[in-house]
Amino acid sequence: MSTPSSYEATLPSSSGAPVSLDDQANQLTQAEEEFATAPDPEPVAQTPPPPAAIEPQEPVQLASAANTGRGLQRLVPSNPQMRTVAYPRMELPREQSGAMPQSELACRRELKRVGVQYTDIAPINDGGGCGVAWPVKVSGLSGGISMKPAATLNCQMALAFAQWTKSDLAPAARTRYLSGVKAIHQGSSYSCRKIRGTAVASEHSKGNALDVMRIELNNGRDINVRKPGLFAFRQRSLLNNVRGDACSYFSTVLGPGYNADHWNHFHFDLKSRRNGYRACR
């Protein structure tokens, strides 16, 4: 009995013929080599889903300066259904053309408060710096005191004179003469002229001055402003007192003893001077 040189195992093949283990090993090795050298499979292309529809947004624009106020800009939508809301521009109230200024209205309220009888008259413009923009014609003062003749003044001058009459002149007359004032006789209110001997416009040319000639009392006595006689003590006391007190109401007070132009009357005005200087002489 002969002995084989090597041990070989056999297995049936798919065709039914026996296959050795070595043949199977060779087949496996060959299959592995073919698999290793085989090209990678082509990737399968995938179509991405369509992007979701994006709704258009409203464009953004700058609001105009007229809508948002001067110097202000802000972002607002242009959707016509949405109204642009802006802070209103702050402005000082403006007076209508031709309307009486607030200062003049306030002055007239004061005239009424202190009992002045007056009427508003048409603006005066006589040229050459003469005129009154908002003149009043004063016919009466507090306490039933008449102004003879009626005086044409600017409102501020009328108010200052009314306050002086009510607070100083009338009380001084009652104290010294035991009588109230019936009438004040004036010699000049508005008048287009210059100061004598100069080219300077008088305050009369602005309705800003009034000259008082005499004071009539309820008891029938007349007090002339011109320099009183030596023994006219009450008259001198009254005139000196009201003349001195007038400096609290007017910026200029002139009278007898100042110069020849004022020998027989008091001159009161509201002339503006540097540093608020007052001329009481």
Measured CA to CA, the distance from residue 211 to residue 267 in angstroms comes to 5
Question: What's the confidence (pLDDT) of residue 277?
Answer: 82
Q: Tell me, rounded to whole angstroms, the distance of Cα 242 from its chain centroid.
A: 41
Contact 214, 228 (CB under 8 A): no
Question: What's the confidence (pLDDT) of residue 20?
Answer: 54
pLDDT of the chain, 281 residues: tens digit per residue: 444 444 444 445 544 555 555 555 555 556 555 555 555 555 555 566 665 555 555 554 544 444 444 444 444 455 555 455 555 555 545 555 679 999 999 999 999 999 999 999 999 999 989 999 999 999 999 999 999 999 999 999 999 999 999 999 999 999 999 999 999 999 999 999 999 888 899 999 999 999 999 999 999 999 999 877 766 889 999 999 999 999 999 999 999 989 899 999 999 999 998 887 888 88
* Nearest CA among 200, 204, 198, 202 for reference residue 186: 204
Show me where the domains of the chain are located: 102-280
Question: What's the confidence (pLDDT) of residue 222?
Answer: 94
Question: What's the confidence (pLDDT) of residue 257?
Answer: 86
